[in-house]
Structure 1
Amino acid sequence: MIVVKNYSSAPAPEYGYVWGSPKVSQVLKGRDLEYTKILLLLDNLDLSSNKLVGKIPEELCVLSALRGLNLSHNHLSGNIPINIEELKSLESLDLSNNKLVGAIPQSMANLMSLNKLDLSYNNLSGKIPTGPQLQTLDDPNIYAGNDELCGTPLPKKCFGDDDRRKNAHEDDDDYKESRIERIWFYCVVTLGYAAGLWGVIGSLVFNRIWRDAFFCFTENTMELILVTVEVKIGRLKKSIMKWTN
């Protein structure tokens, strides 16, 4: 059991919060443990079934060494603190049976050590955030009693999920279909090029008359081109000499 006592004014400048110099006593295995100046080293906090009211204080998230937090069976209201991701060491979080409202903050997906979670029986709403660690917590009972929650692992789908899934499936089908068409196109072009090339080369290889005619035509064409070029160059030289004189 943990009891919170004696709050007086004192700053905690390294975090930018004004704490109340709280003294926390914990009875653990028959030993009375007190946390005063080393409150930030507290690793387990159980305030369940204490009739607590109001919002969960954001300053609670400064307890960076906290591994277990149990605020269940109280009358807490408001939103889950958005800076809950600062509890980097948190392994167990129980906020069940309260009056919490609003969406589950996406920052909760950054709690990489979290292996036990209970948010049941509140008034939470919106889509359940996704993340590598949260995906492993796939028990729907974690979110039971929150009628406005949707998304995995609950059977209730969020608005637009089916459309996004359908669009993704259609895009995938279109991509596969387009890829098959491109493959067929390249195959047809390659086969056509090979057939045309072999049709020309094969006829020259196996038909001597065609081969002689082809080389004769090529030779005559080259000579014609060379003669034409030489005539053009000669005329150009004459024009230049006439212009310079």
Structure 2
Amino acid sequence: MLVYDSILYLVNSVDLSDNNLSGEMPVGLTSLLKLGTLNLSMNHLTGNIPEKIGNLEQIETLDLSTNKLSGSIPQSMVSLTFMNHLNLSYNNLSGRIPTGNQFQTLVDPSIYEGNAALCGYPLPGCQDDNGEAPQVPSGDGEDDDDNKFEKLWFIICIVIGFFVGFWGVCGTLVIKKSWRYAYFHFLDKVKDALLRSVSSIGTFLHKSS
């Protein structure tokens, strides 16, 4: 018993699904800080989801579906940044779905179906105090603005670089006559040197054959 008590927090998987369990979710489960999987689906659990569930920062899979849980989804769950699978369907949950962090990636409405009083992204929006539905949150708006700004800045740099390069070279040759003569004289020398090199290589290959 002493050993079990000392290592209990190291448990990384709990699956008690489909066991006819009843009563409220034990708050003690939120002390299993190493927990990666928690499955309590298909039971008869009642009451609220513990607010301290946000302590399970390493959890990846959380399934509380097909119970009788009520109240709102705790805001502390937005801190579960490792969570990639969530199922809260078919309970009696109500209120707004939290936003931020992993909840922006949990866009499948089936995660929350069967909770008639639950609203917010990705379900239809909740009404505010004025009876109007707020805009659906999006985690991509800021990224889109950043991408547009980067593309615009990239295009501006290309245009500036073209004009600087063109007028820095061609503009100088057009305006200054002596530079233009020197430039074309240099090109003639390069051309002659290349022709001599090609001719020498051809002669060498012919002699070798």
TM-score tier after normalising by the smaller chain length: 0.5 to 0.7
User: Could you tell me how far 1:157 is from its partner in structure 2?
Assistant: 1.7
TM-score, normalization: structure 1? 0.52
Gaps of 5+ in 2: 136-209
Moved more, 100-109 or 35-44: 35-44
Aligned mate of 1:116, from 70, 80, 85 = 85
Measure, in 1, the Cα distance between the counterparts of 2:67 and 2:2: 24
> 1:153-164 to 2 correspondence within 5 Å?
153-154=122-123, 156-160=124-128, 162=132, 164=134
- 2:48 alignment counterpart: 79
Aligned mate of 2:112, from 143, 155, 176 = 143
> 1:158-237 to 2 correspondence within 5 Å?
158-160=126-128, 162=132, 164-165=134-135
Aligned mate of 1:104, from 69, 73, 76 = 73
- Number of positions where the alignment pairs a residue of Structure 1 with one of Structure 2: 133
Measure, in 2, the Cα distance between the counterparts of 1:137 and 1:105: 15
Measure, in 2, the Cα distance between the counterparts of 1:80 and 1:44: 18
User: Could you tell me how far 1:37 is from its partner in structure 2?
Assistant: 2.9
CA contact (8 A) 2:126 2:134 kept: no
User: Could you tell me how far 1:120 is from its partner in structure 2?
Assistant: 0.2
Moved over 6 A (4+): none
Equivalent residue letter for 1:55: E
Distance 1:119 1:164, change over 3 A: closer
> 1:60-79 to 2 correspondence within 5 Å?
60-79=29-48
User: Could you tell me how far 1:163 is from its partner in structure 2?
Assistant: 5.7
Measure, in 1, the Cα distance between the counterparts of 2:132 and 2:58: 36
Gaps of 5+ in 1: 1-20, 24-34, 166-245
User: Could you tell me how far 1:162 is from its partner in structure 2?
Assistant: 3.8
Distance 1:55 1:135, change over 3 A: same
Summarize deviations over 1:53-92 as a string: whole Å, max 9, x none. 0000111100000000000000000000000010010000
Aligned mate of 2:17, from 32, 36, 48 = 48
- Give the secondary structure class of the aligned counterpart of 1:37: helix
Larger RCO, structures 1/2 (Cα 8 Å, 6+ apart)? 2
TM-score, normalization: structure 2? 0.60
Q: Which of the pair is proportionally richer in strand?
A: 1
- Give the secondary structure class of the aligned counterpart of 2:86: strand
